[in-house]
Amino acid sequence: MYNFYPKKFVRPCIFQGSTAKILLTMRLTVILLITAILQVSASSFAQKITLNKKQALLVDVLRDIRKQSGYDFAFTNSTLDKAKPVDVNVTGVDVEEALRLVFKDQPLDYVIKDKVVVVSPKVKTPEKSLGEALKPISVDGRVIDEKGSPLQGATVVVKGTKLISITSADGKFHFLDIDDKSVLVISFIGYITVELPTKAQMGDITLELGNAKLSEVVVSTGYQKISKERFVGSFSQLDSANYARRAGMGIIDRLDGTVTGLLFNKKGGAAFPIQVRGISTLGVSQTPTSPLIVVDNFPMEDAFDINSINANDVENITVLKDAAAASIWGTRAGNGVIVITTKRGKLNQPLRVSITSNVSVDEKQKLDYFPTVSPSDFIDIEQMLFNKGYYDSNINNTDDRPVLSPVVEILAQTRNGLSLTDAAAQINALRGHDLRNDLNKYVYRNPLRQQYQTSLTGGSNNLAYQFSLGYNNTLNSTIGSKPDQQFTVNSNTTYKVSKKLELQFGINYSQGLAKSYTLQLPSTTAPYASLVDNNGGPAAIANTYRLAYIDTVGGGKLLDWHYRPLDEIRNADNTRKSYFTRFNVATSYAVTNWLKANIQYQYTVATGSSENIQSLNTYSTRNTINGFTLPNVTGIAKYQVPYGGIVDISNSENISNNVRGTLNFNKAWNGDNVITGLIGAELSNIYGLTSAQRLYGYNENTGSVTQVLNYADYYPIFYGASPGASAQISTVNLLQESLTNRIVSILGNVSYSYKDKYTLFGSARRDGANVFGVSTNNKWKPLWSVGGSWDISKEEYFKVDWVASLRLRSSFGYTGNVNNRLSGKFTFFSSSDPVILTGLDYASANQPPNPNLRWEQNATLNFGIDYQLFKGRLSGTFEVYSKKSTDVIANKYLPISSGVNFTPINAADLKGSGFDLNINSVNTIGKISWSTNIGLSYAKTIVTKIDKPTAITVRDLSGYSVNAVPGQLAYGLASYKWAGLDPVTGDPRGYYQGQISNNYNLIATDSIQNQVFHGSSIPLYSGFIRNNISYRGFTLSFNLTARFKYFFREPVMDLDYVNAVNSNFLSADYYNRWQKPGDELITNIPSMSYPASGNTSSKNSFYQLSEITVKKADNIRIQDLRLAYDFSIGNFSSKKYHLQTFLYANNLNLILWKAAKTNYDPDFVGGNGGFTAPIKTLTAGLNVNF
């Protein structure tokens, strides 16, 4: 980042430095790039300068020299106050010659030291009398800060000369033989420059901290880059340093808990996993709910995987939060915009090689996260149910032969002669066995991820390049599962053809190969089941049918019908391949010194294939073949399903083409006026095709299949006692689905600044798309925004010593959200599967025509304050906003006569409000460098309008998903009012119209006004505190996150014994249930009984949705921690390379405080009482730069 400061700023400043064609293009690009690198690496040290300036500001000329040479410049703003306009015209000269000509007639002088040009006022040396003699002396001194810590790298210049010294690690400097009448100028980035008369022993020179505004923050919108000082919109940025502090393969995940206004909803299956300032849509009919992701100026379509881009290739991420920031993206910006910028080389940058290696280890799955009853107690429940006759129907079922648990099989054998003593012995042998122990021993391991990358960056005076190779290897959590692999190539090249013409080329390629397998045990697996037999081999467990039936069925004429989980892992052969190519080219031509014409094009293609070969060794194939096998009287089995494996194949291809043309202008005049902006147009075409097919009779040796089945026919089945029983053979016909979206847009924005104090901004965009209704496309209604800012700290009358900068800004505008899967035209669904009765294909109405179908529209009003206080030690922003979403897609219920129950139309409205607060502080103490970043956000969204034909009940405000209830929070959580347990039965009780009741069906119909509304099920307040502490090469960084003002519903016990044994899962709440009168005084867990009453299902539902199950979710936790050591700073310093090692612990989720006494992490309890255990990750890595 680079920065230029206003004239009143009186401290030193520094300019700191899918198809064969695509594959062929990539190869040629790599060859040309490597050739260019070899050429540039030999010439990058001989920078040549070309300048053609007339009456130009000196600061602008120095900027050009810095861009062409890579040299840094240090000066005070007051130094340039008296600088003269520059006239210079040179081509291909050395840096020294260019500087000599630029400063030729200036009242300034300069010195060069290690590619740093220090500019200072020229001092007119008085003529000495003949009697005066020079008195050369040697000078020593030390530069320290206000805390007494040495400042390494401070610049000490002998005023009026080219003598310069850079302070050492202990802050010391030295001059030999200089005039004793000289003056020393001492400066350091971020500190106020001082001038002192020379003496032999200067002692300690203390510099006071100046304003902390060290580098220019540039906001990337995906269309243009705008300095923060001229940007009136709302944004949050994860800069390169804070992005790099986190490790891992995920890109978007690094934003979690690091920027304000962005909330990650971690509940399992959340429809809105990432929210920018609340929600702006209901997500009906697959309406997009996530922010638009932009990578290097173009959208990353939903069909493309963002993780196809190597995370180490990312430079920074910017989140655009309001209309002024995001409206340039029109109908795709309603949910916010995340702009990702990848790394690029710079002109006149020496070749730099970077090697990065990370290894991450996750915790094993936490199988005991949800407390359950012990296997022994579960067996007791099975015995109780057996004695009461619950299993009799299943034991006597000779049609379906449903699964029976091992204990029930043993108990059933007692009816056929097994002694009770032997049965008890066999059952007791099972009591001490826990399935979770077997899973931990034989199935699950610690997932391991390895990440490697090598990159080259650099440039000459007309060529800049970046090239990287990456490799990721991931072992998932299943033992024996093959690793997933990913290979990435990324290249960005900029070539300055001439002073006016610039070309850019970029290519990103990713290739993935996944063969991992995740074991999914049948839900009927008993909690005491064993995965290995007595000999240590894979054990069989019941799946689909009871083992007593499988053991003898078919008389040896069928394929082995046993299901052995460990064999399933070994025999899995599911290969998924993915290929991703993103190619872009851009040209920029400077029509004048203030007007540029730009044309950009990007082609993106992603293909994927999946081939799941289920050989004869897999249970699913043997089960299918056996189910349709007919043993005949000769004893030879007749296979109706072809003998051999089953292959499921799926393919996908997604292609996008984007072309954009813009005119960018940046005009300054009279020294006070600056106008910037762009006008342009773009075309987008997105095409997607998916297909799937199932093949039977796969031969592993030849790779052939036997595809001779008629899937419309019904075939006799083996199992089942009913004569003539038949079924269709399961298939996936050759299914194809294609989707094409075309968008044409015109757009523009303009920003005017006066005296760097006042800024006005406006933007507009109009989109037309094939998915809109005819009436909508015919209307010329653009999305637009306006805004302005005022830097009050630059006013003459504003003189507050402790306020370094104070800027006010405001904006208002519109963004949109479009559902590409809807159409304004009549649509229908057709099927190639015939109707059973007629054998004919059929079609059904899907969506009636809607000529008025349009995008959802979001209006946002934003007010913001940017501040720097106490010489920059404290800085940040504060913003408040209000937004309204109209024309939101929602289901409109239609009359029965229409033939369609409901249809998605623009029928709902939402209203949101909130604030974002950022505080940054510099807390340096002595030799310890310490900085803190604090963020706090508040976001609330209310549904103000929606078609709701039925009365509102608790079920409508379950908190599990976005609520379509007018007048309520979008994620509101309500419950049935709790009246305790019945003292006689232990049943839960509630209220109906104010009266205690256990009529659960009646309570469910009661008005929501008579129940309990808790609040939001997602945090209304979220924040973070991030600290970075450095000392002698060590850096400790840790991030605390906080979430407040929300609730969660705890998972609770199922009150039905039948549900418990059928799911083989029973909560440990069982031990604290009501069992006798009086227990209602010590517990709120209802009773369980068998046989269950007719209202057990309603009782279950009432209990699960009652207020007794809701807890406050507020919490504060340590999110992550990083410890790094930089060998280029410590005692192992080397001028040839830079080495940094680090340990990083992510997803620590170490809860420091939570509002409720609960065993669960409130952020990891999902919808409908589901749960996911948070998994910690530990990463070790190193980075070497040459």
- Average pLDDT score over residue span 956-977: 86
At residue 667, does pLDDT exceed 70? yes
Report d(CA 458, CA 468) in Å as an integer: 12
Q: Which residue has the tokens 């773009």?
A: 682
What pLDDT sits at residue 20? 44
- The tokens describing 822, both together, are 């809807």
387-404: pLDDT as tens digits: 999 999 999 998 888 999
**Could you give the C-alpha distances from 132 to 126, 136, 178, 900, 990, in angstroms and in order?**
12, 13, 15, 106, 105
Residue found by looking up tokens 């949050």 in the block? 236
User: pTM for this one?
Assistant: 0.81
**DSSP one-letter code for 423:** H
pLDDT at position 30 over 70: no
pLDDT band at 72 (very low <50, low <70, confident <90, very high): confident
Q: What is the DSSP secondary structure assignment for residue 623, as one 8-state letter?
A: H
Can you say whether the dihedral through the CA atoms of 187, 190, 191, 194 is positive or negative? positive
Q: Using an 8 Å Cβ cutoff, are 816 and 767 in contact?
A: yes
Q: What confidence tier does 860 reach under pLDDT thresholds 50, 70, 90?
A: very high
Neighbours of 648 (CB within 10 A): 17
Q: Write out the H or E segment, with its range, that includes residue 96.
A: helix 95-102
Phi-psi region of 346 (alpha: psi -120 to 50; beta: other; left: phi over 0): beta
Per-residue tokens: 324: 């002024």
Q: Comparing 207-211, 532-536, 714-718, which segment has the lowest mean pLDDT?
A: 207-211
> Who has greater pLDDT, 1133 or 180?
180
Residue 1042 and residue 825: Cα distance in Å, rounded? Answer: 47
What is the structure's pLDDT at 269?
Answer: 58
What is the mean predicted confidence (pLDDT) over 708-715? 78
Question: Which pLDDT belongs to residue 915?
Answer: 98
Give tens-digit pLDDT for 620-631: 999 999 988 886
Identify whether the C-beta of residue 1122 lies closer than 8 Å to the C-beta of residue 1142.
Answer: yes
Which of 102-116, 435-449, 838-852: highest mean pLDDT?
A: 435-449
**Beta strands 637-639 and 645-669, pairing class:** unpaired
Task: Mean pLDDT check: name the lowest of 255-259, 675-679, 816-820.
Answer: 816-820
What are the pLDDT digits (tens) for 138-157? Answer: 898 999 877 677 787 778 88
Q: Which residue has the higher pLDDT, 734 or 503?
A: 503
Beta strands in 699-825 (DSSP E): 715-716, 726-727, 735-754, 758-769, 783-791, 803-817
**pLDDT at position 209 over 60:** yes
Tens digit of each residue's pLDDT (9 = 90 or more) over 264-303? 988 765 668 899 999 999 988 778 888 999 999 999 988 8
C-beta separation of 198 from 179 below 8 A: yes
The pLDDT of residue 29 is: 40
Pairing of strands 637-639, 172-179: unpaired
Neighbouring residues of 670: CB distance < 8 A, sequence distance ≥ 6: none
The pLDDT of 121-126, averaged and rounded, is 60
The pLDDT assigned to 936 comes to: 98
Distance CA 985, CA 1139 (A): 70
Give the residue among 242, 243, 219 at the shortest CA–CA distance from 313: 243
Model pLDDT, residue 1136: 57
Tell me how far apart the alpha carbons of residues 483 and 242 are, in angstroms, rounded to a whole number.
30
Q: Please enumerate in sequence order all residues whose Cβ is within 8 A of that of 923, keeping only pairs 6 or more positions apart, or say none.
A: 930, 931, 932
Mean pLDDT for 347-371 is: 90
Residue type, 141: G
Dmax (CA) for the chain in angstroms is: 134
Q: Which domains does the chain have, with CATH numbers?
A: 12-123+135-206 (2.60.40.1120), 375-433+523-562 (no CATH)
d(CA 89, CA 105): 15
Q: How far apart are CA 685 and CA 741, in angstroms?
A: 6
Give 569's contacts (C-beta < 8 A, 6+ positions apart): 443, 478, 479, 480, 481, 517, 519
The token duo for 348 is: 């006149």
Residue type, 147: K
Identify whether the C-beta of residue 618 lies closer than 8 Å to the C-beta of residue 644.
no
Per-residue model confidence as pLDDT tens digits over 983-1011: 999 999 999 999 999 999 999 999 888 99
pLDDT at residue 542 above 90?
yes
Tokens of 906: 């623009």
- Contact (Cβ atoms closer than 8 angstroms) between residue 1113 and residue 1157: no
| pLDDT value at residue 841 | 64
Query: H or E stretch including 108?
Result: strand 108-113
Spell out the long-range contacts of 945-950 with Cβ–Cβ below 8 A and sequence spacing 24 or more.
Answer: 945/907, 945/908, 945/909, 946/282, 946/890, 946/907, 946/908, 946/909, 947/890, 947/891, 947/892, 947/893, 947/907, 947/908, 949/893
How many other β-carbons are positioned within 10 Å of the β-carbon of residue 886? 16
What token pair was written down for 695? 């093949």
When pLDDT is averaged across residues 111-136 and rounded to a whole number, the result is 62
| pLDDT, tens only, 757-793 | 999 999 999 988 776 555 666 565 689 999 999 999 9
At 1094-1110, the pLDDT tens digits run 788 899 999 999 999 99
* 77: confidence class by pLDDT, cuts 50, 70, 90: low
Angstrom distances, CA of residue 918 to CA of 260, 631, 637: 7, 75, 74
Alpha helices in 908-1047 (DSSP H): 1000-1003
Identify the residue with better confidence: 326 or 725. Answer: 326
Residue 745: HSE in the Cβ half-sphere, 13 Å Cα cutoff: 27
Residue 395 has what pLDDT? 94
Q: What is the mean pLDDT of the chain?
A: 85
Which is more confident, 808 or 127? 808
- Over residues 607-616, mean pLDDT: 94
Token reading at 507: 């290519």
Please answer whether residues 683 and 767 qualify as being in contact, where contact means their C-beta atoms are separated by less than 8 angstroms: no
Question: For position 441, what pLDDT does the model report?
Answer: 95
pLDDT at 192 exceeding the cut of 80: no
CA-to-CA separations, 506 to 39, 470, 582, 870, in angstroms, rounded: 19, 16, 8, 44
- Those residues whose C-beta lies under 8 Å from the C-beta of residue 14, and which sit 6 or more positions away, are 72, 73, 74, 189, 214
What does the angle CA 251 – CA 256 – CA 259 come to, to the nearest 5 degrees? 105
Give the span between the Cα atoms of 924 and 940, in whole angstroms: 37
Out of 123-127, 378-382, 386-390, 929-933, least confident range: 123-127
- Provide the pLDDT for residue 18: 42
Q: Residues of the chain with pLDDT > 90: what percent?
A: 49
Residue 189 has what pLDDT?
A: 64
Rg (CA), the chain: 36
How many residues in the chain?
1186
Angle ∠(481,486,492) on CA atoms, nearest 5:
170
Confidence grade of residue 31 (pLDDT, cut at 50, 70, 90) = very low
- pLDDT the model gives residue 780: 56
How far apart are the C-alpha atoms of 371 and 797, rounded to whole Å? Answer: 67
